[in-house]
Amino acid sequence: MSILSGRFLNIRTIFEQILPEQPCVLCGGMSRDGLWCNACDTDLPYLDVPHCPVCALPTPAGEVCGHCLVQAPVFSSTTAVFGYGFPLDKLIQGMKYGEQLALAHGFGKKLLQRIDKSNLPDYVIAMPLHPAKLRERGFNQSQLLAATVARELKLELLPNACRRVRDTPPQSALPWKERKKNVRNAFCCDKDLTGKRVALVDDVLTTGASLNALAAAVSIKGGIEISAWVVARTLPHSKSKGLKTLE
């Protein structure tokens, strides 16, 4: 008799037997909740306030923000799970530099829950790393995120359609004003995307300059209805630090 046919074992019991307890990456407490425990999950900065549908910047009633009205980015919508803040920043850093690759899978699942399943794209493309950076880091966290999302939604992931052709300084090292210039012509797409709807996946959207440059490269190859799927959206702390460089 297999374990599944046992009369007194429900699914939850089976899972509790199979899944070992593991320490939460945030508080260290043992649980079977996954990478981080349910208590820590409730403390994460989910983006639950009304926000601009184009760039995910909070707006009073969820309307398109002033920046997008004045100069709309090439991508037409953004899905973001979190605002980029403590303690999520620690997890993102862990995924990116600490090589806690399992986090990419966990974040991919979170992103999955927020994606509008009624309007799915034809292709999924991850924010590419320059080959030199890829060699240095050994992996592309956005590619891992995109792979989880594409697999679960049964969408086609194009891992090699777009390339980063210039090894630019990290955007985070630059003042916001210079980020747009930094990534101009940084990307190149090799695949004909005529008439294809494309979702771009990245870990964090800050000024949107990188995503916009990638979206421009996709658009040049004929991609349409380009959307951004990101784990976290950097939010301004005050009006004076508003995201004026989203262009």
Binding region for Zn ion (CB under 5 A) out of 1-9, 32-40, 112-120, 132-140: 32-40
C-beta closer to Zn ion: residue 44 or 68: 68
SS3 category, 15: helix
Q: How far apart are CA 207 and CA 160, in angstroms?
A: 25
Least distance from Zn ion to the Cβ atom of residue 29, Å: 5
Listing DSSP states for 103-140 in one string gives HHHHHHHHHHHHS-TTS--SEEEEPPPPHHHHHHHSS-
Identify the residue among 54, 129, 157, 243 touching Zn ion (CB under 5 A).
54
Q: Is 52 in the site for Zn ion (CB under 5 A)?
A: yes
Q: How far apart are CA 83 and CA 3, in angstroms?
A: 43
Check binding of 103 to Zn ion (CB under 5 A).
no
Task: Considering only the stretches 53-61, 93-101, 124-132, 217-225, report the one whose residues sit in contact with Zn ion under the rule CB under 5 A.
Answer: 53-61
Q: Applying CB under 5 A, does 214 fall inside the site for Zn ion? A: no
Interaction of residue 95 with Zn ion, rule CB under 5 A:
no
Instruction: Give, as ranges, the residues between 68 and 87 that touch Zn ion (CB under 5 A).
Output: 68
If one asks whether residue 55 binds Zn ion (CB under 5 A), the answer comes out as yes
Cα(5)–Cα(10) distance, integer angstroms: 10
**Closer residue to Zn ion (CB): 40 or 214:** 40
225 SS3 class? strand
235 near Zn ion, rule: CB under 5 A: no
Tokens at 218, concatenated:
């996709």
Query: Which residue, among 47, 42, 46, has the nearest Cα to 62 in the 3D structure?
Result: 47
CA distance linking residue 189 with residue 78, whole number of Å: 21
Q: Which DSSP state fits 46?
A: B
Angle at 103 between CA 225 and CA 42, to 5 degrees: 90
Q: Is 37 in the site for Zn ion (CB under 5 A)?
A: yes
> Which of 2-10, 35-43, 92-100, 221-229 is the region at the interface with Zn ion (rule: CB under 5 A)?
35-43
Comparison of 164 and 180: residue with beta carbon closer to Zn ion: 180
Residue 121 contacts residue 155 (beta carbons within 8 Å): yes
Residues of this chain that interact with Zn ion (CB under 5 A) are 24, 26-27, 29, 37, 40, 52, 54-55, 57, 65, 68
